[in-house]
Amino acid sequence: MGSYVPPIRDMQFVLHEVLDVQSTFKSMPAHADIDADTINAVIEEAGKFASEVLFPLNQSGDLEGCKWHDTVVTTPKGYKEAYAQYVAAGWPSLSCDPEYGGQGLPLSLNNSLYELLNSANLAWTMYPGLSHGAYEAVHAHGTDALKAAYLPKLASGEWTGTMCLTEPHCGTDLGLLRTKAEPQADGGYAISGTKIFISSGEHDMAENILHLVLARLPGAPEGTKGISLFIVPKFIPDAAGNIGARNPISCGSLEHKMGIHSNSTCVMNLDGAIGWMVGEPNKGLQAMFVMMNAARLGVGMQGLGLTEISYQNARNYAKDRLQMRSLSGAKFPEKAADPIIVHPDVRRMLLTQRAYAEGARMFASWIALEIDKELSHPDETVRKDAADNVALLTPIVKAFITDNAFECTNHGVQVYGGHGFIAEWGMEQYVRDARITQIYEGTNGVQALDLLGRKILGDMGAKMKKFGNIIRTFVEENGVDAKMQEFVNPLGDIAQRVEKLTMELGMKAMGNPDEVGAASVPYQRVVGHMVFSYFWARMAKVALEKESTDDFYKAKLATARFYFAKLLPETAGYILQARAGNATLQGMQDDWF
Amino acid sequence: MGSYVPPIRDMQFVLHEVLDVQSTFKSMPAHADIDADTINAVIEEAGKFASEVLFPLNQSGDLEGCKWHDTVVTTPKGYKEAYAQYVAAGWPSLSCDPEYGGQGLPLSLNNSLYELLNSANLAWTMYPGLSHGAYEAVHAHGTDALKAAYLPKLASGEWTGTMCLTEPHCGTDLGLLRTKAEPQADGGYAISGTKIFISSGEHDMAENILHLVLARLPGAPEGTKGISLFIVPKFIPDAAGNIGARNPISCGSLEHKMGIHSNSTCVMNLDGAIGWMVGEPNKGLQAMFVMMNAARLGVGMQGLGLTEISYQNARNYAKDRLQMRSLSGAKFPEKAADPIIVHPDVRRMLLTQRAYAEGARMFASWIALEIDKELSHPDETVRKDAADNVALLTPIVKAFITDNAFECTNHGVQVYGGHGFIAEWGMEQYVRDARITQIYEGTNGVQALDLLGRKILGDMGAKMKKFGNIIRTFVEENGVDAKMQEFVNPLGDIAQRVEKLTMELGMKAMGNPDEVGAASVPYQRVVGHMVFSYFWARMAKVALEKESTDDFYKAKLATARFYFAKLLPETAGYILQARAGNATLQGMQDDWF
């Protein structure tokens, strides 16, 4: 049930009309020749693949799930074939390095691709999605030999990749991990241990799987400073680069989960599996963070994808389902009842979904472009500024967008009423799939600590001030425009509140570091709204200029006005909660709980 | 996995120490002889049954689900036997009329029983839970013959009951329903139509099932004024009252749902099934509302039950799971890491669960006592006041408690991190089970319209003023106590804000009725917090008096302080959202969505 129409027009609005990505690409030698037609062709073709090939497998895949038998994992019907199509079309190589067979397109285009894939089938998309993270880690930290052996296979999609971090007794706290790596005479390592929650850890979609595994060398320091990163292939490539001996890394069982049923979440047993070190000894965590940051942006895109698909279906249902009359008098007297879209609270839920989807698309596209600048811009200052923005705002991409996605997919269920709870209609799957996005790749609580404790207070607010200046400049440039004041005034207001709140929390944290943890989660939502206010104001500016030309822009303005009137005000509560401090959290003794 | 310990001490605190229910019972002839020992024995025995018999079936029942084959429904392993034990122990008759075999205990005790059952196994509890609603409808509106034929069987639990309202094209809007009832020569009716979403509509736990069915008589007026209520037994009782001929009402299929897997959600086909009218022709909806109101209180108790069980398990896990160090320095340096309960944000989630569970228990116990007064108090003024309070606050019981339950069961998952998403640990089931409580028996959006549109603006705020006076009296009586000011001041403040907000919305609604729907959902949360503030202040008062005697009271005070510091402030955002009005909801034209 349900349907999916790729939001190509909305993506084009963001990429071309607001961000003007082409101009930015022109400033980077690596991407200077990318024109609007290329960009449009990529998202249109990706939209077709997502809606025509992946979307029809989403519900059947959820129902069927993955099957495990004696270390072998079978994915649902059609998954393998869809992956073969994906590989044949060259999608895995989109933003990979041409030196290793990639197409060398900007990461921001890959990001747009992933919105589409995630809307259509999140669990399927995790198979190629994790490969890309593995590609980036090896690309950034691998030796030339490792790069030559593995990157072309990852870029082509012939082989897929995983991240093997978590163990039964440690998830957030990787310093506790126990998996051991013994050096071998040939320069390799024999790795033994148990990893859990390994997404796409075993499957039948590709001939080989490359596991990026965190483990400890003999005598390594305790904690996070004694962890190294290894690449451990399921089949060890032979001298010709083809798959060779089966490595003793295998899937012991699959987890039964609330959602993402069709992605294999594996317990992986390593019993002297042979691996090669990526990066330097004991510095595996830093190397892994290349993957982690990409993965966090990726999780944000999952949140966006689910918000969009839930919105589309809730909107269609709300226009179709007849139930009760409008409180202000029948709107469709010729029908047995009015379609439920007439009811203000139904509109509130739909507009919430829409405003969060469009805000997330705008913000995530901007940050993906910042990553492109960080990676490819010739000017060092531009690279540094972009890197700071990316570091500062990655927790917002990951946590704010996914928290919104959970709220929005639940609105989708609520719009459907009782039918929303029934599997057949497809709406409850989006809730179940969205739930994990608030947890994995660092829980949203961990993101909030990263944001306030490390990214903001950690550099005495330097990165935050820099991003604040972007907002201030926008406010100053547009505050003189009477038509922009309805957007610029609340933006300026929330930016000031954030500044004040950040100062207050910084002072308190100097007295007691627990004040950071006591405020971080509501604080994160306040900053998220500041970011969304900025991007909604930017979208409104473009829409105002073209308002008379097309209803598309009128709808954009209506959504912007809804955002500022109805969503931004939740910050009033969160600011109070952030300011309420640590005292009442500690007033309860542990043994009273 | 997981565990459940009935919160007997907390229930006793509410019933005896805060509400002093025994005094109220003494004022009612029907209940004058109930002493504290009886009350304690009931909740202790109920707690044993819930934790020892029902809880062990909760997870296995979810996994197994109900099975359908050719109209026959089989419940999961152990369900039938548990129900037989429940009946043998006499639980169904607890608050039924002694004239029909009931024990005649107050409804408030039945309410406490249901908290315990719902914590242990919500989906199982829906089998007896709906029977009680059917009992009440027949008791209130049935003829003497119907009462004699059916009430003893419902009171004993030998037979169970259902509510058959929803049809494929109508849920909220019952005025659209099409099921037809043709009068028969013998005074019965032949009823034909299709009902959906019928909880416990078919099962193997009792020998007969009594369906309360809404249908239209020939020539009945259109809309809600042409609906009559009928009792339609699965097996028609013979003259001796034993089960006789199979009536053509049968289960066509089961729905596959997000949660409550082990409760059978049935499509019921009626093909000339014989029924008897309950109440008067065309006044079926009023008769059904007896069941609906009881059911809404019942759904609130489901929310409480899930909040409590999720809290208990999250707390246990947070004390046990070692991960990272406290930001303010290691709290358990002898361990490999600190238990996660040291982290302020984990405490915030646990205290949120606890404050909402204890607040809900307090509020729901109070309203159940108000229902007892409404039903059994000799003084007409007391009955009228109680009825007004119940009418006013039923939407808050239903919607506020279940919205909190969804938030809290999600906190439970989040505290467990990745393990929370894995079915084995049991935490995600509570989320899936909680989700339906926000939808059925009138969505929480419908509750909000009922609260603001009907219950508050419908009588020009009369009922609201009456409840406001209860708060004002408490504030005046306790405002002079220096120790109570930290609770009384925010209570007085939120009460004033609600008064002002209600006036403003009332004025706006006179101009445009859609302003009600535009404000109702955030308004409902604000009123919910006013109610919880009042009851937390009452609990704090008792706890302050006994603080020095037992850590139990210190914990109660710590939770109260957390509630006022960290949860009540969310109203600041909701008040702004409620005031933001209808304009931005209508600014978006239907065809722009």
B382–chain A nearest CA distance, Å: 34
Q: Which residue has the tokens 């909701």?
A: B574
Q: Which residue has the tokens 């939001």?
A: A7
Tell me whether residues A323 and B171 touch, CB distance under 8 A.
yes
- B43 shares its domain with B121: yes
CB pairs under 8 A between A and B: 283
B174 to chain A, any CB pair closer than 8 A? The answer is no
- CATH number for A38: 1.10.540.10
Summarize the confidence of residues A85-114 as an average pLDDT: 97
B442–chain A nearest CA distance, Å: 9
How do A243-246 and A235-237 pair as beta strands? antiparallel
Contact A277, A189 (CB under 8 A): yes
> In this predicted structure, what is the pLDDT of residue B207?
97
**Position B25 in a domain:** yes
Q: Rounded distance, CA B456 to CA B447, Å? A: 12
Angle between helices A571-579 and A514-546 (to 10 degrees): 160
B458 to chain A, any CB pair closer than 8 A? The answer is no
Residue closest to A268 by CA, chosen among A215, A207, A222, A223: A215
- A98 shares its domain with A212: no
Instruction: Identify the three-state secondary structure at position A381.
Output: helix
- B20 shares its domain with B130: yes
How many angstroms separate the Cα of A541 from the Cα of each of A19, A554, B250?
12, 12, 60
Which residues lie closer than 8 Å to A144 by C-beta, 6 or more apart?
none
Tell me, yes or no, if A44 is annotated catalytic.
Answer: no
- B177 shares its domain with B77: no
B5 to chain A, any CB pair closer than 8 A? The answer is no
**Position A352 in a domain:** no
**Position A43 in a domain:** yes
How many angstroms separate the Cα of A514 from the Cα of each of A172, A460, B325, B344, B414?
18, 17, 11, 7, 19
Q: Which residue has the tokens 């990676």?
A: A375
Q: Which of B243, B263, B283 is the last residue of a domain?
A: B283
Which residues lie closer than 8 Å to B424 by C-beta, 6 or more apart?
A255, A256, B1
**Position B15 in a domain:** yes
Which contacts (CB < 8 Å, 24+ apart) does range B586-589 have? Answer: B586/A344, B586/A347, B586/B514, B587/A558, B587/A561, B587/A562, B588/A347, B588/A351, B588/A555, B588/A558, B588/A559, B588/A562, B589/A551, B589/A554, B589/A555, B589/A558
Tell me whether residues A351 and B585 touch, CB distance under 8 A.
yes
Residue A291 has pLDDT above 80, yes or no: no
- A109 shares its domain with A204: no
> In this predicted structure, what is the pLDDT of residue B421?
98
pLDDT digits (tens, 9 = 90+) for B421-455: 999 999 999 999 999 999 999 999 999 999 999 99
> In this predicted structure, what is the pLDDT of residue B229?
97
Q: Which of residues 245-304 of B touch A (CB under 8 A)?
A: 255-259
Residue closest to A210 by CA, chosen among A149, A124, A123, A265: A149
Which residues lie closer than 8 Å to B474 by C-beta, 6 or more apart?
B488, B491, B534, B537, B538
Residue A132 has pLDDT above 90, yes or no: no
Mutate which of A419, A566, A589 to test chain B, going by most B C-beta atoms within 10 A? A566
A121–chain B nearest CA distance, Å: 18
- A19 shares its domain with A137: yes
Q: Which amino acid is at B497?
A: R
Partner-chain residue, chosen from A176, A343, A517, that has the shortest CB–CB distance to B517: A343
**Position B496 in a domain:** yes
- Residues found in chain A: 593
- Tokens for A478? 């547009």
Q: Rounded distance, CA A496 to CA B293, Å? A: 47
- A274 shares its domain with A220: yes
B207, B441, B476, B515: which one is catalytic? B441
Count of structural domains within chain B: 3
Tell me whether residues B341 and A593 touch, CB distance under 8 A.
yes
Q: Which of B283, B310, B332 is the last residue of a domain?
A: B283
Q: Which of residues 343-362 of B touch A (CB under 8 A)?
A: 343-348, 350-351, 354
Q: Which amino acid is at A406?
A: F
Q: What range does the domain containing B561 cover?
A: 460-586
Q: Rounded distance, CA B214 to CA B279, Å? A: 12
Which residues lie closer than 8 Å to A239 by C-beta, 6 or more apart?
none
B485–chain A nearest CA distance, Å: 16
The helix (H) or strand (E) run that includes residue A190 is strand A189-199
- B499 shares its domain with B554: yes
pLDDT digits (tens, 9 = 90+) for A43-68: 999 999 999 999 999 999 999 999 99
- Planar angle of CA A585, A590, A591, nearest 5 degrees: 140
Q: Which of B249, B283, B317 is the last residue of a domain?
A: B283
- B30 shares its domain with B137: yes
Per-position pLDDT tens, chain B of length 593: 799 999 999 999 999 999 999 999 999 999 999 999 999 999 999 999 999 999 999 999 999 999 999 999 999 999 999 999 999 999 999 999 999 999 999 999 999 999 999 999 999 999 999 998 899 999 999 999 999 999 999 999 999 999 999 999 999 999 999 999 999 999 999 999 999 999 999 999 999 999 999 999 999 999 999 999 999 999 999 989 999 999 999 999 999 999 999 999 999 999 999 999 999 999 999 888 877 888 899 999 999 999 999 999 999 999 999 999 999 999 999 999 999 999 999 999 999 999 999 999 999 999 999 999 999 999 999 999 999 999 999 999 999 999 999 999 999 999 999 999 999 999 999 999 999 999 999 999 999 999 999 999 999 999 999 999 999 999 999 999 999 999 999 999 999 999 999 999 999 999 999 999 999 999 999 999 999 999 999 999 999 999 999 999 999 999 999 999 999 999 999 999 999 999 999 999 999 99
DSSP letters, A34-56, are --HHHHHHHHHHHHHIIIIIIHH
B422 to chain A, any CB pair closer than 8 A? The answer is yes
**Position B580 in a domain:** yes
pLDDT digits (tens, 9 = 90+) for A519-539: 999 999 999 999 999 999 999
Contact A469, A392 (CB under 8 A): no
Residue A417 region, left (φ>0) first, then alpha (ψ -120 to 50), else beta? left
Summarize the confidence of residues A310-316 as an average pLDDT: 98
- B167 shares its domain with B134: no
Mutate which of B170, B258, B574 to test chain A, going by most A C-beta atoms within 10 A? B258
Which residues lie closer than 8 Å to B88 by C-beta, 6 or more apart?
none
How many angstroms separate the Cα of B405 from the Cα of each of A265, B519, B581?
28, 22, 27
- Planar angle of CA A397, A402, A408, nearest 5 degrees: 130
Angle between helices B107-141 and B55-64 (to 10 degrees): 50
Number of separate helices (H) and strands (E) present in chain A: 21, 11
CA quadruple B339, B342, B346, B350: dihedral, nearest 10: 90
B94–chain A nearest CA distance, Å: 31
- A503 shares its domain with A559: yes
- A114 shares its domain with A70: yes
Has this prediction a pTM greater than 0.95? yes
**Position B420 in a domain:** no
Residue A41 has pLDDT above 90, yes or no: yes
- CATH number for B197: 2.40.110.20
B3 to chain A, any CB pair closer than 8 A? The answer is no
> In this predicted structure, what is the pLDDT of residue B212?
96
**Position B365 in a domain:** no
